[in-house]
Amino acid sequence: ESELNNYIRGQGLVGLTMGILFCIGFTIIDFPIAIGMGILIGVLTLIPYMHALAFIPMVFLSLIKAVDTGQNFWVVFGTATLVFAIIQIISDLIVTPKIMGKAMNLNPAILLLSLSVWGSLLGFIGLIVALPLTTLIIAYWKRYVTKEDKEDTVTIEECEKQE
């Protein structure tokens, strides 16, 4: 149960970080509704890899900006896509492994390996369920195979003997 709570907290922090990074990036390139897009992407990040759906409004906002300012659509869309790609690389290589590794007490290399393994086994669905499944497997392994419980359990009989 605590592992799932840690996963949800970590994913929320990743979403918040991604939202802030996208707000900053889109503001730098003077993209329309930069803060709104950052918030949308931050919320979509709560479900792993769903933030890619933000490309749909990004295309429409690029078109609106191009028509409004007279700029070339491909230049506007290209700069927005470049911001998206740079922040995605930062997220995948630095932010997510660090935050989720600390939240779930896992080595960042194990996180990247689990994404790779589950992604190759189950495709896109594997990428979505990789971190919760890996955490669950490790928690069960520690609890039932290696008998590593975080808390010392005391039976009622042991309590009565101590009195």
pLDDT digits (tens, 9 = 90+) for 21-43: 999 999 999 999 999 999 999 99
Rounded to an integer, what distance in angstroms lies between the CA atom of residue 122 and that of residue 124?
Answer: 7
Give the chain's mean pLDDT.
86
* pTM, entire model: 0.73
- Percent of residues, the chain, with pLDDT higher than 70: 90
Assign 3-class secondary structure to 130-144: HHHHHHHHHHHHHHH
Q: Return the higher-pLDDT residue of 85 and 134.
A: 85
Least confidently predicted of 4-8, 79-83, 116-120, 122-126: 4-8
Cα maximum dimension of the chain:
84
Identify the pLDDT of residue 21: 95
Beta strand residue intervals within the chain, DSSP E:
none
| Whether pLDDT at 104 is above 70 | yes
- Give 154's pLDDT tier (boundaries 50, 70, 90): low
Residue 44, H or E segment: helix 34-44
Rounded to an integer, what distance in angstroms lies between the CA atom of residue 59 and that of residue 31?
Answer: 11
- Give 161's pLDDT tier (boundaries 50, 70, 90): low
| Whether pLDDT at 1 is above 70 | no
